[in-house]
Structure 1
């Protein structure tokens, strides 16, 4: 029975991870055609309010369902579970109503604080999604607590597909009919509420199939009071949710500081909006980089958790060290590749190479955000929620204190540097909290070797791109056509060069390389070559 439960858990975890991966890819990829249709200013308008959606979505999609599933797993009988969930639903509905009312009533004040009063209509548009968040979080949490991940996975995919479809349809319609960018933004952001309705419909179907009712009053005395439940919801559920929305929180700070800082830097209001839109191109690039790095890390974390649960401390420390090293190497390779190919990637995806320097610095976030994800997972597995919350607070404090000042003195590149420094500060703090375990993650000069490999790869790729660029111009290819070919060639050459150098410098142990997909085949091929 235990083996069957474990098998169900693993299958469910894989299903939810795949659905989450597809949803993240969709969430990153749609922004490219969207930006192409609405331009830099239209992209700025959308991205200014996106963090509000992103934070709400993280709470409803991953953070609170994870915590609620833990509450369900802790409960005994079905009656206890439903009694507990009805209380959670009441608390969440109250919180969501306050949030909805606050966004509706103070939309203008929030927009003014962002430096653009016209954003108020978009803030009111996104606020409607919060009314559906309680049911989505509770229903997903219930099924996840029962080790049934299919409802959450299905509703997540439906939600993202509907949202992306609405956004791109609105962008196309706005382009064809020459809508004002703020009108376009309000309709595009209404996709959040529309998608939540479809996701809720999916969850209602699963709830009815399971014959459960979260709406009925508690049938038995509560084992936990409303006040204690609210406290746990805020501390444990809030910590998980806030860390899951770490990058979105940094983007929210950008929404309040970058555009205002650019005006202080000396740009006109219209130019500041355009530059902020260019700066926001970095977000889907970082998101895609994180998908690759964190997906790999997530695949290794179950074995880490199993070792911890069985109190095999030596195995736990060894595996944690491997996860940290391999995640760092893959994230660094992704960031270095994007830096080397940024002009081509920027032109291919967004139509021009404007802001490539700013974006090159911004993608360094991939390295630190990946490490933070790993350290956070380890700390939470040790039930050290307060430590992770303090780490997040340090990073956000650095961003809040220095972001606008950096932009005023350096322009958009200042915001990129502040994001990277904030994430680095968070990484160092979390690393220090785990010093007692001595993971030996950076042994044998790993950092020195990794920096050397990345620098050689960046220089080598840039030389190759410059040579090929001249050939493309002589062939008479369009800028975007040549950028496409250069990106394809650059990615292939970058992967080959990085792996060749990594193997030559013994960046990772052979057993660690063999943990990668199809490693035995491509390792043999690389060594022959």
Structure 2
């Protein structure tokens, strides 16, 4: 039988476990791509990454999008019976939508593959489409549990799902190295891990529940539009907004899957050369994920705090907390983005074996900064139960990406693709800032803060510039990958030390602000030891 609502102790333990598991999943999702690319090369990486955005959309719905929306509906109910009834009532809604997504993707796999400029991708797209069939069931269990504040099942299920999926992907890559599979057969086997991992997660959730949440009411409620129509608007606006921002970068990747390879061929490149270049360009995705780990975790941690202050009507404290949130994220994201730009040659060689697509990847690292700030504003809007402006901002960002990607990629290659992504994110961010209330604009960032941050970032760039100059003098351009990894990690220390030292010297943050930053307490202790007050 399903468990009742969590106790305070269970909630605390579950929240900690979910935070750790979510961080582990994000890191694993980024890290596995490195050995995978090393085993299959840029062409094999291209085959995987071309289709990955479809899986990414399905998993966003099943993991971080719809479950959040459903958990909110469940949490609004005042009895266990009503909590069950709300899941039963709306289950047909996203079941049939998921079925339509599966049918469109599976039956249209050849058309989609042709639009991507590579008909041989069709079988892989067909495998990925099956994941949509798991989405409504994973969503229901996770949403119900989270609405009951039982977070442990979600934590366990997402770890199991990711470990199984990554394991199958790496096995497929290893078999490919033994010349037992073609590059497309490898991609098909690798993507089968998506369905198998999702099935494993579903088994874990079902075992925890002991019974189905939706009962046998799928077909009996399917035609109950009178009962479900009141949730349509909330489903489209609230659910769509949560899913849209969670999958924004994945949607941008999907646009690139349709554009980059085709436009490189249109420039005159061969199919093979275009595939290899697209595969090398896709190295940027795991780097962006790693760069945003702290930012995503920080946004997740601030969301319940902001919501609680809003509900308790503590407006002054709410506005101060928002100001801290924005300033600290601005600092963290800008430092992460510029640090990745400066150290990218060492990171690229150490992880992937060469420095292909350096310029395009450097430009793409600006995504870390823009997307982190977008998450900040989306979190603030969500804490205020404001949906219209962020929904329009999401559509504006997607529209700019779609409209600019084709021409910029054709004329400037992968650098143009990176610029189109930055333009899309920048458009979304500008809209979110423009439509924010006046108090928020005043709370955000002043000129003095901008100058201080600019100086700190400038000093970090100077220190890393000198570091790169010294490296070029004392180390050969073609040094070992292990050496490059050491140089990248040491560069992080050099840039980070310079940046934090300048911030401490300028007294950019109050003690309270430092305490809200990851590792901020330790940094303050170090600052006091060297008498930086």
- Scaled to the shorter chain, the TM-score interval is over 0.9
Partner in structure 2 of residue 403 of structure 1: 405
Partner in structure 2 of residue 519 of structure 1: 520
Partner in structure 1 of residue 497 of structure 2: 496
Q: Structure 1 residues 10 and 305 mapped into 2: Cα distance closer, same or farther (>3 Å)?
A: farther
Alignment of 1:122-133 (within 5 A): 122-133=124-135
Q: Provide the rounded CA distance (Å) in 1 between the counterparts of 2:249 and 2:194.
A: 19
Q: Provide the rounded CA distance (Å) in 2 between the counterparts of 1:200 and 1:249.
A: 25
Give the aligned length.
Answer: 523
Structure 1 residue 525 displacement after superposition: 2.8
Q: Provide the rounded CA distance (Å) in 2 between the counterparts of 1:257 and 1:449.
A: 40
Q: Which has the larger displacement, 437-446 or 344-353?
A: 437-446
Partner in structure 2 of residue 468 of structure 1: 471
Q: Provide the rounded CA distance (Å) in 1 between the counterparts of 2:489 and 2:522.
A: 22
Q: Structure 1 residues 133 and 482 mapped into 2: Cα distance closer, same or farther (>3 Å)?
A: same
Q: Provide the rounded CA distance (Å) in 2 between the counterparts of 1:421 and 1:322.
A: 27
Q: Provide the rounded CA distance (Å) in 1 between the counterparts of 2:40 and 2:119.
A: 20
Contact 1:63 1:241 in 2 (8 A): yes
Partner in structure 1 of residue 436 of structure 2: 434
Partner in structure 1 of residue 307 of structure 2: 305
Alignment of 1:10-409 (within 5 A): 10-208=12-210, 213-217=213-217, 225-409=227-411
Structure 1 residue 351 displacement after superposition: 0.5
Q: Provide the rounded CA distance (Å) in 2 between the counterparts of 1:93 and 1:32.
A: 35
Partner in structure 2 of residue 455 of structure 1: 458
Structure 1 residue 451 displacement after superposition: 2.8
Structure 1 residue 526 displacement after superposition: 4.2
- Quote the RMSD (CA, aligned, Å): 2.3
What do the CA deviations read for 1:435-469 (whole angstroms, capped 9, x no partner)? 32235221242223323322331232132133134
Partner in structure 2 of residue 418 of structure 1: 420
With normalisation by structure 2, the TM-score equals 0.93
With normalisation by structure 1, the TM-score equals 0.94
Q: Structure 1 residues 305 and 5 mapped into 2: Cα distance closer, same or farther (>3 Å)?
A: farther
What do the CA deviations read for 1:141-185 (whole angstroms, capped 9, x no partner)? 111111100111110110001101110111111111252211111
Q: Provide the rounded CA distance (Å) in 2 between the counterparts of 1:311 and 1:169.
A: 53
Contact 2:324 2:513 in 1 (8 A): yes
Task: Give the SS at the match of 2:90.
Answer: helix
Contact 1:35 1:350 in 2 (8 A): yes
Contact 1:21 1:291 in 2 (8 A): yes
Contact 2:121 2:184 in 1 (8 A): yes
* Unmatched tracts of structure 1, length 5 or more: none
What do the CA deviations read for 1:465-503 (whole angstroms, capped 9, x no partner)? 3313432339xx943122022112111111101101222
* Unmatched tracts of structure 2, length 5 or more: 1-5
Q: Which has the larger displacement, 179-188 or 432-441?
A: 432-441
Contact 1:402 1:418 in 2 (8 A): yes
What do the CA deviations read for 1:249-271 (whole angstroms, capped 9, x no partner)? 11111111111122223322211
Partner in structure 2 of residue 445 of structure 1: 448
Q: Which has the larger displacement, 438-447 or 307-316?
A: 438-447
Contact 1:163 1:192 in 2 (8 A): yes
Q: Structure 1 residues 74 and 510 mapped into 2: Cα distance closer, same or farther (>3 Å)?
A: closer
Task: Give the SS at the match of 1:384.
Answer: coil
Q: Provide the rounded CA distance (Å) in 1 between the counterparts of 2:236 and 2:308.
A: 27
Partner in structure 2 of residue 486 of structure 1: 487
Q: Provide the rounded CA distance (Å) in 1 between the counterparts of 2:328 and 2:400.
A: 28
Q: Provide the rounded CA distance (Å) in 2 between the counterparts of 1:133 and 1:437.
A: 40
Q: Provide the rounded CA distance (Å) in 2 between the counterparts of 1:347 and 1:398.
A: 32
